[in-house]
Amino acid sequence: MHQIAFVLGPLTVRWYGVMAALGFLAAVLVIQRNRKFADLKPEQVSDLMLYTIVAGIGGARLFYVIQFWSQFKNNLFEIVRIDHGGLVFYGGFICATIVVITYCHKKKLSIIKVLDIVGPGLALGHAFGRVGCFMNGCCFGKPGNLPWCFVAPAGTHPGQKYPEIALHPVQLYETAGNLIIFAILFYFAGKLKKGMNFSLYLIMYGALRFVDEFFRGDHSDFLFGMFTQAQVIGIVLIPIGTALFFYFKSRKNDLEPVDKKC
């Protein structure tokens, strides 16, 4: 866990920002690789990803600031310091999805097909982002006694809350889970009826986040006295994704031939 990647004169570059940038690049490459399955042109991928990343970061930061307003009310400038960490994935997911739907509607693209190829890119980009969380010391885990648990450095958020106590590397648990989700969705891209791939993403990420949150140590507020907000959303995503999966599976829309000139 080390927040600073390198320093160039007055510029301090943090690992959180580096990993976020790498995650964005990885997502773009994956979506470019699969764009033919959604009839997307190369320039449309670039435009769509630009709009999506802006909306995703903005939404993720907005949800974090709302959730932890007490940290910002006396220092409003800190709201824009996303390099310090502090993003809520579901906030970014919701805002980015709205942007994707809006863009597809405007360009007369198949929203479902585009979401199918966005899923693998989203999972891979998220995996990089969680590595950034680990390096930054945010979204940290609770105390544990497994061989790979580690003691957070003094001065970091987890080190202050749990001094000299070994913690679960929960960020890396989610990284591993997202890489598995990416591999599954990437393999099935273009092989399933439209809508099924994104439905699988909703199911798998909902399940991953529900389980992963049990190892988080940075939460203080719980719904119903036992679940985090992310877990409740995860619980909702699983049946929604399952219903959508079987709905799209039952539709009589066999796989369409891919336009190789796209």
Residue 193's SS3 state is: coil
Note the pLDDT of residue 8. 80
| Higher local confidence (pLDDT), 92 or 125 | 125
Q: What is the pTM of this model?
A: 0.86
Question: Residues 52-70: pLDDT tens digits?
Answer: 888 888 888 888 888 777 7
Distance CA 213, CA 230 (A): 7
pLDDT surpassing 60 at residue 261: no
Q: State the first-to-last Cα distance of the chain, in angstroms, to the nearest integer.
A: 43
pLDDT surpassing 80 at residue 253: no
Note the pLDDT of residue 66. 80
Note the pLDDT of residue 255. 54
Instruction: List, in sequence order, every residue forming a beta bridge with 48; answer none if it has no partner.
Output: none
Question: Residues 9-50: pLDDT tens digits?
Answer: 777 778 888 888 899 899 989 999 999 999 999 889 888 888
pLDDT surpassing 90 at residue 182: yes
Instruction: List, in sequence order, every residue forming a beta bridge with 4; answer none if it has no partner.
Output: 14
Question: Residues 32-43: pLDDT tens digits?
Answer: 999 999 999 988
Three-class SS string for the chain?
A: CCCEEEEECCEEEEHHHHHHHHHHHHHHHHHHHHHHHHCCCHHHHHHHHHHHHHHHHHHHHHHHHHHCHHHCCCCHHHHHCHHHCCCCHHHHHHHHHHHHHHHHHHHCCCHHHHHHHHHHHHHHHHHHHHHHHHHHCCCCECECCCCCCEECCCCCHHHHHCCCCEECCHHHHHHHHHHHHHHHHHHHCCCCCCCHHHHHHHHHHHHHHHHHHHHECCCCCCECCCECHHHHHHHHHHHHHHHHHHHHHHCCCCCCCCCCCC
